Amino acid sequence: MTDQAKPTEAATKHALALLEKKAARLRHELVELRRKLSHARHSLSESHAIQLQEANQELVLAALHADDIAAMAVADLATLTTAFQRDVVTGTLNRAFMLDRLERALLMARRDGRRLALVFIDLDHFKPINDRLGHAVGDEVLQIVARSLQSVLRESDSVCRYGGDEFLVLLPAIAAPTDAERIAADMLMALSTPVSVGGEILKLSASLGISIYPDDGEDPATLINHADAAMYRRKRAGLGDFQPRLGAWFQEQSASPQDLREVNAQLVLAALKAQGSAADATEAHRQQLKHMAIVAHELRNPLTPLRIAAGLLINRNSTGEIPVERLQVIINDQVTYMTRLIDDLLDASRLSTGRMRIERSDVDLGSVLNQVAASCRPGMALRQQHFSLGVRSEPIHMLGDPVRLAQIFSNLLDNACKYTPEKGEIALELVLLDTCAVITVRDNGIGISAEALPTIFDLFVQDARALPHSSGGLGVGLSVVRDLVRAHGGSVVAHSAGRGRGSDFVVTLPLSGC
Clarify whether residues 470 and 334 are in a common domain.
Answer: yes
Q: How many domains does the chain have?
A: 2
Clarify whether residues 401 and 446 are in a common domain.
Answer: yes
pLDDT tens for residues 75-94? 555 555 555 567 878 888 88
224 touches 106 (CB < 8 A):
no
Residue 408, classed as helix, strand or coil, is helix
CA distance 372 to 406: 6
Q: What confidence tier does 55 reach under pLDDT thresholds 50, 70, 90?
A: low
> Looking at per-residue confidence, does 423 or 246 come out higher?
423
Cis peptide before 214 (omega within 30 of 0): yes
Residue 120 confidence (pLDDT): 93
Residue 422 belongs to a domain: yes
Kind and range of the H or E element at 237?
Answer: helix 220-237
For the cut 50, the answer to whether the pLDDT of residue 344 exceeds it is no
458 touches 476 (CB < 8 A):
no
Clarify whether residues 137 and 231 are in a common domain.
Answer: yes
CATH number (domain holding residue 234): 3.30.70.270
CA distance 162 to 180: 19
Rounded average pLDDT over 232-253: 54
Residue 84 confidence (pLDDT): 58
Residue 505 confidence (pLDDT): 95
For the cut 60, the answer to whether the pLDDT of residue 430 exceeds it is yes
Residue 141 belongs to a domain: yes
CATH number (domain holding residue 405): 3.30.565.10
For the cut 80, the answer to whether the pLDDT of residue 431 exceeds it is yes
Clarify whether residues 401 and 481 are in a common domain.
Answer: yes
Clarify whether residues 225 and 358 are in a common domain.
Answer: no
For the cut 70, the answer to whether the pLDDT of residue 1 exceeds it is no
Rounded average pLDDT over 426-439: 93
> Looking at per-residue confidence, does 481 or 200 come out higher?
481
Task: Kindly report the average pLDDT of the chain as a whole number.
Answer: 75
For the cut 50, the answer to whether the pLDDT of residue 386 exceeds it is yes
Clarify whether residues 228 and 353 are in a common domain.
Answer: no
Residue 51 belongs to a domain: no
Residue 469 belongs to a domain: yes
Clarify whether residues 461 and 505 are in a common domain.
Answer: yes
Residue 65 confidence (pLDDT): 57
490 touches 507 (CB < 8 A):
yes
Highest mean pLDDT among 69-83, 172-186, 467-481: 172-186
397 touches 511 (CB < 8 A):
yes
Residue 28 belongs to a domain: no
* 255-260-263 Cα angle (round to 5): 120
In the chain, % of residues over pLDDT 90: 21
> Can you give the three-state secondary structure of 250-294, one letter per residue?
HHHCCCCHHHHHHHHHHHHHHHHHHHHHHHHHHHHHHHHHHHHHH
Rounded average pLDDT over 263-289: 61
Clarify whether residues 337 and 226 are in a common domain.
Answer: no
Clarify whether residues 407 and 302 are in a common domain.
Answer: yes
Clarify whether residues 336 and 427 are in a common domain.
Answer: yes
Clarify whether residues 217 and 350 are in a common domain.
Answer: no
Residue 314 confidence (pLDDT): 64
Which range marks the domain in which residue 345 is found?
289-510
For the cut 50, the answer to whether the pLDDT of residue 72 exceeds it is yes
Rounded average pLDDT over 150-162: 88
Using a CB cutoff of 8 Å and minimum separation of 24, what contacts does 430-435 make?
Answer: 430/365, 430/366, 430/369, 430/390, 430/391, 430/392, 430/396, 432/392, 432/396, 432/511, 433/508, 435/510, 435/511, 435/513, 435/514
For the cut 60, the answer to whether the pLDDT of residue 46 exceeds it is no
In the chain, % of residues over pLDDT 70: 58
Residue 278 belongs to a domain: no
Of 203, 238, 253, the one marking the end of a domain is 253
Residue 14 belongs to a domain: no
For the cut 70, the answer to whether the pLDDT of residue 301 exceeds it is no
Query: Which residues are registered as beta bridge partners of 167?
Result: 121, 161
What are the phi and psi torsion angles at 470 (to 5°)? -80, -10
Q: What confidence tier does 452 reach under pLDDT thresholds 50, 70, 90?
A: confident
Residue 39 belongs to a domain: no
> 425-433 and 397-400 as β-strands: parallel, antiparallel, unpaired?
unpaired
pLDDT tens for residues 122-131? 988 888 887 8
Clarify whether residues 417 and 306 are in a common domain.
Answer: yes
